[in-house]
Amino acid sequence: MMIKGIHHVSAITAHAKDNYYFYTHILGLRLVKKTINQDDPSVYHLFYADEIGSPGTDLTFFELPYAGKTIPGTSSISITSLRVPNDDALTYWLDRFNHYHVTHQNISNQGKRKAIYFQDPEGQRLALVSDENNNGIPGGKPWKHSPVPEQYGICGLGPVRLTVADKQPTEHILTNILTFKLIDRYPSHTEGLEDIYVFSTGEGGTGAEVHLEVRTDLPQERLGRGGVHHVAFRVEDEDELNDWRHFLTQNRIANSGIIDRYYFKALYFREPNGILFELSTDGPGFTTDEDLEHLGESLALPPFFENQREEIEAILEPLNTRRYK
């Protein structure tokens, strides 16, 4: 059994229309699936990805209209990275962020890679990371109809940063339960803090890393809008996912069992610091119920919700307008 890399990251928004505008118009991602939160079908679950919705490129959002603002802290997924093709692309993105008044820092380093740290309008903590020296998992294909030129486009998820108060139990899960290996460390941007630890799995590279930050000076995070709900890791198929279920159970790690998310099968568990991990299959994918050219254009419902379509569509607001200027 082998974790192949990052599968997706799922975050929280209070305003689906604003979220849609920012991630498609400003970041240039493709909305590959407009569906519902299966645990609350009255709100959206939006999936942004590369042109074909490749595993490892999905940034998803649950809409929770009354969610309070995230109070950053430990036991959290504190930064989601997005890959761009090279260092030159970061210069393009600086200009774009300035034009759209996106809160951002200047180009700096994320370990050995160049990066720009920035936030979306709800304070979601993000980074654009250069893929220039990536020798691991290849990125996806930027959307051909994106407002961002293809040579600068986002091509997938990069390293995910976890922030914890106690390094050891999270490191144990990554290295002794999952298939990550500690490969590097780099200085924190905050003076006086411990180095950030780099863990890699599978073929390695930008799309297969978890970065672990230790903060004993922060309270536990209060999750709300602008925060991340969980990170999912890639497994090959349902047979392998079932092997992982048995392995977690044998190691006395409570888990959800296999859940059908229609576009993939999933299994959830919390590591000891309380961060929610998911293991997800690469398939069957987002073209299961829509053709490639029209992904994300209509409300897609798994078959087990189809009999509620009329009721669900009456509640959801269209995404073609936005609340902020």
In sequence order, what are the residues at sequence separation of 6 or more whose Cβ sits closer than 8 angstroms to the Cβ of residue 269? Answer: 248, 253, 254, 255, 256, 276, 277
Rg value, the chain, Cα: 19
Band the pLDDT of 84: cuts 50, 70, 90. very high
Which domains, ranges and CATH numbers included, belong to the chain?
5-315 (3.10.180.10)
d(CA 95, CA 17): 24
Residues 231-283: pLDDT tens digits?
Answer: 999 999 999 999 999 999 999 999 999 999 999 999 999 999 999 999 999 99
Residues 181-212: pLDDT tens digits?
Answer: 999 999 998 888 899 999 999 999 999 999 99
pLDDT of residue 190: 84
pLDDT of residue 155: 96
Query: What single letter denotes the amino acid at residue 110?
Result: Q
User: Would you list the DSSP string of 53-65?
Assistant: --TT-EEEEEE-T
Note the residue count of the chain. 325
- CA 125 vs. chain centroid, Å, equals 11
Band the pLDDT of 101: cuts 50, 70, 90. very high
